[in-house]
Amino acid sequence: MSQQLSPEQLTALAKEFGTPLYVYHAEKIKEQYAKLAKAFSGSNVVFFYACKALTNVSVLKYIRSLGANVDCSSINEAKLALHAGFLPQQVLYTSNGIGFDEIEEAVKLGVNINIDSLSNLEKFGKKYGHNYPVGIRLRPNIMAGGNLKISTGHDKSKFGIPVDQLDKIIETVNRYSILITDLHIHTGSDIKDADVFVKGIEVLFDLIPHFKELRSVDLGGGFKVPYKKDDEEIDIDLLGKKVKEAFDSHPQARNLQIWFEPGKFLVSECGYFITQVNVMKETSATTFVSVNSGFNHLIRPMFYDSYHRIENISNPQGESKRYSVVGNICETDTFAWDRKLHEVREGDHLVFYNAGAYGFEMSSNFNSRLKPAEVMMKDGKPHLIRRRDNWDDLLKNQVEVIS
Ligand code: LLP
């Protein structure tokens, strides 16, 4: 039986900590990690949690305790990971479009690095030559992912060095004898089809013979999780089988480590976003339910047209009606249009499911509203892992020059 927090537990948390509130269920993260570990148990796989999905330090520490490594997308994420207790060799910094100074800093930290431009590869070679192992992020020219905004491997994407520039990569690597130990691709997020990864593997396999000192190939993240009721998770066991078959049957790949960078798969479903209804508004087009939040706290519906299941946990037996769930900020911030919910009244608590990944993490102080608190439920007990923003937080970096 899958780990889930009950409406009663969520209501109690809303009362104890106030709303809007992000809640993360530790045991659900553990369950997802166990699924991955089982699916790939036959292969030499290392998981690097893509922490851009959710960087709360307590979550990082928890995921570390499960045995995962961590993938970072900025130098500060790398520092957070070290702060959370990951060893430098457990930290991977997959950079994109960054200045060389960040790469130098990452080298000082001693973490693994994937370089994603010829320009930085050149600078890296000049400075470090063969002295620091490094990976290359490639753009495999594969279209994948739930929508274009989260597709990163196609032939118009900014990410990675295009595989069609292989000659230039090899020339640069040879000129400086750069110690290339990893080849990386990440094609997108919300990928349901295991064959997308197989396609990526085929692209990488063609490249392996050019790099004699490889230790790993990194297939990125992007495993789909179910957002809608009838959505399906990527068939992770099937993927595990296909990856094993591919690597076992390739003489030069057989001894390489296989790296993955799952973000959503680990932390999406563990997350609940609890809001409270401020205002009900009847109009000729729809009945609006305005909650005490907006895209300043959960931007995914407005940004990606993404779907989050919503439930009225205050009136689970209420009659089903259609509503449009919106926020309270001064811009259109529709969470759901024409959605069936149990009858909603002002003061009710509405829960948004699957809010763990890229929820709090993409929140902002737009409209000078305060960021929500975060709570981790672990072993049946709630722990406040980030206090709610307060008035001082809004002012803390401002320099008031006009008297
Ligand atoms: N590795 C790299 C290099 C990535 O760029 C990403 C995500 C991941 C791993 C993890 O992907 P995941 O397993 O979480 O799908 N904010 C969007 C998703 C953007 C993902 C960006 N890169 C959303 O809320 O759907």
What's the pLDDT tens digit per position in 249-276?
998 888 999 999 999 999 999 999 999 9
For residues 102-127, give the mean pLDDT. Answer: 98
Q: Given a cut of 90, is residue 157 above it in pLDDT?
A: no
Q: Whose CA is nearest to atom 14 of ligand 1?
A: 263
Distance in Å, CA 189 to ligand 1 centroid? 5
378 and 354 housed in the same domain: yes
Q: Given a cut of 90, is residue 132 above it in pLDDT?
A: yes
| The domain boundary residue, chosen from 239, 266, 293 | 266
Q: Given a cut of 80, is residue 147 above it in pLDDT?
A: no
Q: By the 8 A CB rule, do 196 and 221 touch?
A: no
Residue 402 is assigned to a structural domain of this protein: no
Residue 12 is assigned to a structural domain of this protein: no
369 and 309 housed in the same domain: yes
Residue 300 is assigned to a structural domain of this protein: yes
User: What is the number of other CB atoms lying within 10 angstroms of the CB of residue 380?
Assistant: 7
Q: Which of 38-42, 232-236, 249-253, 260-264 has the lowest mean pLDDT?
A: 249-253
Q: Whose CA is nearest to atom 24 of ligand 1?
A: 358
For residues 118-134, give the mean pLDDT. Answer: 98
Q: What pLDDT score was predicted for residue 149?
A: 81
Q: Whose CA is nearest to atom 16 of ligand 1?
A: 358
Global pTM?
0.97
In this structure, which amino acid lies at residue 389? D
Regarding the beta carbon of 186 and ligand 1, being less than 6 Å apart is answered yes
Residue 305 is assigned to a structural domain of this protein: yes
139 and 218 housed in the same domain: yes
122 and 30 housed in the same domain: yes
Residues with active-site annotation:
330
340 and 379 housed in the same domain: yes
230 and 289 housed in the same domain: no
Regarding the beta carbon of 30 and ligand 1, being less than 6 Å apart is answered no
276 and 227 housed in the same domain: no
Regarding the beta carbon of 151 and ligand 1, being less than 6 Å apart is answered no
Residues 6+ apart with CB under 8 A from 90: 64, 69, 70, 81
Residue 9 is assigned to a structural domain of this protein: no
* Model confidence band, residue 153 (pLDDT cutoffs 50, 70, 90): confident
Regarding the beta carbon of 236 and ligand 1, being less than 6 Å apart is answered no
Residue 250 is assigned to a structural domain of this protein: yes
Ligand 1 atom nearest the C-alpha of 268 is 14
For residues 367-379, give the mean pLDDT. Answer: 98
For residues 318-342, give the mean pLDDT. Answer: 97
Q: What pLDDT score was predicted for residue 383?
A: 98
Regarding the beta carbon of 261 and ligand 1, being less than 6 Å apart is answered yes
| The domain boundary residue, chosen from 236, 266, 296 | 266
Residue among 154, 193, 261 whose CB has most ligand 1 atoms within 8 A, to mutate: 261
Strand, coil or helix: 146:
coil
72 and 216 housed in the same domain: yes
Distance in Å, CA 224 to ligand 1 centroid? 10
Strand, coil or helix: 251:
coil
* Model confidence band, residue 140 (pLDDT cutoffs 50, 70, 90): confident
* Model confidence band, residue 327 (pLDDT cutoffs 50, 70, 90): very high
Q: How many domains would you assign to the chain?
A: 2
Residue 14 is assigned to a structural domain of this protein: no
Which residues constitute the domain of residue 305?
A: 271-389
- State the CATH number of the domain containing residue 356: 2.40.37.10
Q: What pLDDT score was predicted for residue 1?
A: 65
Residues 6+ apart with CB under 8 A from 246: 198, 201, 202, 205, 253
Using CA atoms, how far residue 241 sits from 128, 233, 279, in Å, is: 38, 16, 51
298 and 259 housed in the same domain: no
Average pLDDT, the chain: 96
Strand (E) positions, 250-348? 257-260, 271-282, 287-291, 310-312, 320-326, 334-342
247 and 276 housed in the same domain: no
Residue 158 is assigned to a structural domain of this protein: yes
Q: What pLDDT score was predicted for residue 141?
A: 78
Distance in Å, CA 32 to ligand 1 centroid? 16
97 and 212 housed in the same domain: yes
Q: Given a cut of 80, is residue 51 above it in pLDDT?
A: yes
Q: By the 8 A CB rule, do 74 and 50 touch?
A: no
Residue among 47, 189, 197 whose CB has most ligand 1 atoms within 8 A, to mutate: 189
Q: What pLDDT score was predicted for residue 118?
A: 97
| The domain boundary residue, chosen from 266, 283, 303 | 266
